[in-house]
Structure 1
């Protein structure tokens, strides 16, 4: 069991949108429904988020939420970001990173002079060292049970990020001037460019003092003195490291405005005030010169979990920017507001819907898996669920590539998904596919179909799939759960068939093993294939894009051949802005409109 795994599993439980790898596609151009007006410098815009802010450390398990991540993106910076075309964009005003050598893979990070926290302390390599310590799982020596609870040893840092890359690294080396950190990998890692420092969000000097240490340098000295954790030989708990990790894990969690030292910024905005569960105020960071300077003086964040009320707030001008859950009705309602100055930012998102089969239980039989997949009316699902959101929507034919990626068409032609291309199912006339009936051979197996019954699109998907499967001879049990319950059932394996979505990782390939490797942290359906396991390990080691694509094509084929499930369609990404806002741009990323926050401006 690799150190740090507990944290990632807890993170998977905390976040509904899970990660599947993607390369670097170019999404279709966004749809802008109004012309860009003239803006003024300064002013305030009001943004609605669906859930309240709860933590200044969005990389911890307890702090890992969409709202926290969006606020962090506006208040912190780092060596790079990902743009709307899913390209890695370096921020050399913050600093630079460079590959020093290939064998061993060695990366040097250098922070520019003048980059600082909002209390005036410089951002240093000690901050990067703490980020590495938390994200790598290097010090954890816990052994976990089947439910990922600690049986023995210690899990210090509970990071919500993936540690499969940084787990391959040795203790970093810091330069004498504390400006540079050099990181050496014990084996090759294809996604090294985004493994560390994309955003530096936790100040080491604050964590150090809160844990009883003198300063950030003292914290780094402590970390460098520790041995690598070994679950086979767990060591006694180090009380000082325990204090450091505990504070990193939960010390930045808050519902109100905390001690200002816990709200430090190194980005374009500062958090200036929080009213618990009601409001958060961001103000422009006047000292920020190591990135694109914001145009607004302030941003006011309010919370509204009802998407229709978000639309109403945009209409009555009590909100300026929203990113509600997408339905055809909401798109129509927002489109109807164009004459009131509302603009839509719409395009393909990174999320996609899928049908996934459980390899334990009744569908352990490969013939039954194949029979069920032959009943899935993918075209009908696209016609009734996806096209009302996007008239150009098509059936998705790959688990690991998106249509905008060059390898997609080739993989779709060779992965065998066309075996399951069934015609639309008319519940009153069209017979079930003959292949399914032949494979069932008169059997009438019972299958439980799990889905989020609070999502109207998933309800439609379930209805179409259940009708088709019933025709073929399956006995379908509706195992739908509410929004606050279905994910627990998914993790517990309480399903035979599950309908849920992945959010593709914007760059790299490292998340593919998380989903398809035996025992992977996001392998929620007990899928296991020794060849796939070998290919996923090669994928993590090989930095050559062409070779990565070839490996992923093989994985795509093997997964579909095994009856893992079927991809359905890509989901639409949507935000909208009112007549007083400009510069709000489409983004396929989870950040949504916040990706363009530095360009937001107020229109009188």
Structure 2
């Protein structure tokens, strides 16, 4: 990580903190009394998806609907600038300098202005620039929940933010009122994707520093960052990390303050979360439906049944042959297929695991030889998509430029067929007997339960002792020290950026959930960050793909088939391949006469 010393300057934006626009609000398009219910397979559990604990699609969906930003992806997919929220422009290319300006009338749902204090908080949290050096949070992470424990120290500064995404290449920003200017040490190829406003600064600072007035709270946060006030920053970072984690409607309604077209109004643990049109939203993406409820239904067939019963209006379950057959039998339902930008993979923990088994590369290789990837695809995916194939790259989408080249080079295709004898020989060479492997997965997901059964049977035959560490709360446990040895789940792409995978494989990256570290990979990722030539970008990724396989990082398994179905009570549902998939144009959904 590149470190730049903070400038010893002061700034104030307090005057803008409570200023409301004198302009008239856009005309509301909400149909009074209209409501839609959507089924999703995992409960919401945190309003700050920029932390490693909360970095999950289930959280990102809700946050997307309740917060606005400088841009978003449509379903083409293409990046769309939302200039009704704010604007950004490159003011210099050497060095790369970008100025962000939030519109005068952009505000939080509680009426407080969105401004540079919010951007400064996002910057300091997602660069880790002021984090206490050498602090290791793993000592204070609960292996049962994935959250920080009560023993977490109160005198350290540690923002558990989106590290390794490119924002760390920026110097301390210049800011004033509703503008912020970022200057990069080097030209970052995906600069347009790395910065946005996260949680509200006035909420964080007021709770962390016990300051009631929003303007004073914002100024206290600015002072803490500019002056490197360790005591204040310790409290601010601790609240930023954990203060927005909740699994039911919080008593402190400030925790659900957002800037988007909807705001959270009801939340029942493990059942549903409801959002209502935000009266203080001033952007262009005005919703037509007054109330959107997301029900948590983990079983795909149960989601289909809920759609058939009229209990939900939109579903996007994990696609299986049974789901397809059940949907085909329904009347007054539109079914859309396709392929998602999600791929199933299994990762091995390189350190801080439950049993330490995969600290040994021989055992990593042996275990990968037992993964029945072809059987998983044949059994679980091909009945729905006969053309489905095993995916053989960590970085390239099948069919994309570079995919065939990397498959011929990285060696992953050598692990398509199970090799029990080869695995047994490697276990013997490692000099261990009955190596234990705790596997984390979504135990409330039928397809994942079937996958686990296939992996367990194969690995057991080779001599591994497989521990069932499946959990309904698997998402919060990802990256938790001591919780597991291997895990399989789906990575959901959030952008088309060439550096999209960087936080997964970079040492210390927010998506690096298995303590992987390779200096060659880090150096190549650094080069990729600043490489504009498309051919060289592919070459770098091909090199990384092979290094990952040389380290027996893990295996990719298949690309997700997609299915979305919706009733005749709603129109304009047009799912996209990137996160947040079905929700990307929630403001375009319209109720029908049947609503």
Query: TM-score, normalising length from structure 2?
Result: 0.78
- Find out whether 1:190 has 2:189 as its counterpart: yes
What SS class does the counterpart of residue 546 from structure 2 fall into? helix
Q: Assess, with a 3 A threshold, how the Cα gap between structure 1 residues 246 and 367 changes in structure 2: closer, same or farther.
A: closer
Tell me the distance in 2 between the aligned counterparts of 1:277 and 1:456: 18
Paired residues for 1:95-494 under 5 Å:
95-145=86-136, 147-149=138-140, 154-156=155-157, 158-162=159-163, 164-175=165-176, 178-197=177-196, 200-210=197-207, 211=209, 212=211, 215-216=214-215, 219-220=218-219, 222-223=221-222, 226=225, 237-239=230-232, 241-252=233-244, 255-256=248-249, 258=251, 261-274=254-267, 280-285=273-278, 288-337=281-330, 340-357=331-348, 370=365, 373-374=368-369, 376-422=371-417, 446-451=434-439, 452=441, 454=443, 455-465=445-455, 474-484=462-472, 491-492=480-481
Q: Which runs of 5+ in 1 are unaligned?
A: 4-38, 230-235, 426-431
Report the alpha carbon displacement of residue 108 of structure 1 after superposing the two structures with TM: 0.7
1:589 aligns with 2:573: no
Distance 1:542-1:412 versus aligned 2 partners, 3 A rule: same
Partner of 1:83: 74
Q: Distance in 2 between matches of 1:248 and 1:358?
A: 27
Question: Is the 2:327–2:335 contact (alpha carbons within 8 Å) kept by the matching residues of 1?
Answer: yes
Which residue of the partner structure matches residue 28 of structure 1?
A: none
Superposed displacement of residue 551, structure 1: 0.9
Quote the Cα distance in structure 2 between the aligned partners of 1:438 and 1:262: 54
CA 1:582–1:368: 2 relative to 1, 3 Å: same
Distance change (3 Å), C-alpha of 1:269 and 1:467:
closer
Count, aligned residues: 546
User: How many angstroms apart in 1 are the aligned matches of 2:243 and 2:137?
Assistant: 28
1:255-280: per-residue Cα shift (whole Å, max 9, x none)?
Answer: 33656655444322234455666554
1:299 Cα deviation from its structure 2 partner:
2.3
Match of 2:35 among 38, 44, 47: 44
Deviation at 1:401, TM superposition (A): 0.7
Q: Are the aligned partners of 1:108 and 1:180 in contact in 2 as well (CA < 8 Å)?
A: yes
**Alpha-carbon separation, structure 2, partners of 1:304 and 1:495:** 25
Partner of 2:587: 598
CA distance in 1, matches of 2:491, 2:410: 19
Change (3 A) 1:503 1:154: farther
Q: Distance in 2 between matches of 1:280 and 1:435?
A: 49
Alpha-carbon deviations, 1:304-329, whole Å to 9, x = none? 45544332221111221233344432
- SS class of match (1:161): coil
**Cα offsets for 1:74-119 (capped at 9, x unmatched):** 2221110122344322112322212222333221111233323334
Any idea what the Cα deviations from partners look like across 1:447-505, whole Å, max 9, x if unmatched?
Answer: 4454337244344445545555677xx21322222225877597546777654443344
CA pair 331-205 structure 1, distance change in 2 beyond 3 A: same
Structure 2 residue 568 is the aligned partner of structure 1 residue 579: yes
> Tell me, what secondary structure is at the counterpart of 1:143?
coil
Q: RMSD of the alignment, in Å? A: 4.0
Report the CA distance shift for 1:251/1:440 in structure 2 as closer, same or farther (over 3 A): closer
Counterpart CA distance in 2 for 1:470 and 1:209 is 53
Task: Report the Cα distance in structure 2 between the residues aligned to 1:364 and 1:318, rounded to whole angstroms.
Answer: 48
Cα separation, 1, equivalents of 2:215 and 2:66: 21
Distance 1:591 1:515 in 2: 19
The correspondence for 1:566, drawn from 549, 555, 562, is 555
Q: Please, what TM-score do these two structures have when normalized by structure 1?
A: 0.77
Change (3 A) 1:276 1:397: closer
Tell whether the 8 Å contact from 1:191 to 1:543 is kept in structure 2 after alignment.
no
Q: Provide the secondary structure at the position in 2 that maps to 1:418.
A: helix
Distance 1:205 1:417 in 2: 49
Tell me if the contact between 1:119 and 1:264 (Cα under 8 Å) persists in the aligned partners: yes
- Aligned partners of 2:53, 2:383: CA distance in 1, in Å? 36
Cα offsets for 1:35-91 (capped at 9, x unmatched): xxxx99562212334555555544456765544432221222111012234432211
Deviation at 1:216, TM superposition (A): 4.1
